[in-house]
Structure 1
Amino acid sequence: MRSVRERLTFIKPMEPELVEHPPAGDGWSHEIKFDGYRTQVIKDVGGIRFFTKNSFDWTAKYRPLAEEAEALEAERFIIEGEMIVTNEAGLSDFHALRSAITRRPQELYLVAFDLLHLNGHDLRDMALKDRREVLQALIPAGGHIQFSEALPGAGDAVYHLACDAGLEGIVSKRLDSPYRSGSTMNWRKIKCYVEKEMDIIGVKRESGKPAMVLMADRGRYMGGAFVTFKADKRQALWDLAQEKSGAPPPKGLAKEKAEWLKPGLIGRVKFLKGEEKLRHASLKDFREEK
């Protein structure tokens, strides 16, 4: 047990691995994957401090939440959560978060999901379900610091429900897992897929490698999507690409070994939600813009 005068220090976060499917069985809890900034809140003799997942001190940016954190009924703690802002539909909105931090910090919410330290006791060797029980009792309802509730049901059902609701995905965690910094399969993130039409600006057909189309969204390069069509549809795509071949490489992409296309070929691509570039993406259909 640590002295109450000793300062608490930032703990490197435990990071979920990205997987394709939720784990089966009843030894897991499933939470919403919020689309925000991973945040660690420390309270000790020096007051409240907020840290990013890379240990940057963002206390000044999150000042409106400091008073609420100070009021939690504990002398010392380290709480982990996600800093978010919500849109009109009540969903976390990553793109609105940066402007909210600088212009409307009173609209921020911290969704707390783990408790690493409490009143001199290091809780990291406790099972997740026990840490979360203590955390839930610590956080009052109705404030801007909220407890991340586990969703009832099997992993598959929770995942499909989350995707149908427009959420980014879920995080599944072993109920008996201790807290260990770094990447781990004891926590797993499963992201939802979305489909969207984008411009096909190039194709990559290298021997021994899967064929890909290169995509742009409103002029912004998004990356590649795998082509998995059967032979006849694949050939129809290559025929259209051949007609539009000969465009110069887009700015910054000259080193890509690709065949660049003139505008007019549109593809509907399926990809993981909440990523900066296309990830786990596949081409579902294509059309020529008339």
Structure 2
Amino acid sequence: MNPATSSVPTASVADAVDRVAASVAALRTRRMGTSAAFAWRPGVLVTSAAAVGHASRVQLVLPGGEAVAGTVRGIDPGTDLAVVTLDGDGPALVERRLDPPARTGDFVFAVGRDAAGVVHASFGHVGASGGAWRSWRGGQLDRLVRLDGGLYPGLMGAPVADAQGQVLGLASAALSRHHGVVVPGPTIDRIVDVLLAHGRVQRGHLGIAAQPVALSPAMRAAADTAAESGLLVAGVGEDGPAARGGLLVGDVLVAVGGRPVPTLDALRDLLGADQIGSRLRVVLLRGGARTELALEVGEQHWEPRC
């Protein structure tokens, strides 16, 4: 986050940091060194999936200085969320900000804790705010809240709060190349439910890399479609659903499952968990001629592909 100037009195900010810090634990992994985790529900902490990696157990330093072990109950790279549970009592729960949503320019801060238990914080502003959006990893976030800078070391998975100490969500450096992103509270609630129940969030995929391409009048006529754009297949994953179904680099997807696919998001919308294992009819152009294939939808595992 960028250094910030604010009209909020320094003492008030310090008090807000103290309140948030009471919910924050240091998380130690071999993958990322020390990151942050915070109490979202009794005995349930949330942190960054990128910080946890494939670990099944992590070490935590609680606000009182106690070092405890935590069990990783599940990770979701799509929203960069991981859930860790404790056998005993955990930190105090964060106070959540429920309303109104954060606006561009709002003062915010993130709170972490180092391996020795020392609290540290970073201060900045909301750099962009908007409606629901999808991360490059395919995860659906209920709201876009982007910070005005990146995250300092140790703040992966940290709570991001407003001037009153009410937490907007979780700080992620994995969902944007240059800026920190706040995974909002409603998204955390939704993903925590799934991870506690199943350990992962299922998303369908075809195993391709693709980019939008305009369809010329001749291409539209050949494909018998009114769509103005489709998806040019730029890569096909080895032994993935698309490769097994006969899709080739250079094919242009026009429709999947009877619906046009003018953008990657439109394709991802068609590949929900309920479609995994089903076969979808794909209409495409190959060498300028219309072709149809039946592709079985697979389950996505980590790869940032559709």
Same topology, TM > 0.5: no
Which structure has more RCO (C-alpha within 8 Å, separation ≥ 6)? 1
TM-score, normalised to structure 1, is: 0.27
TM-score, normalised to structure 2, is: 0.26
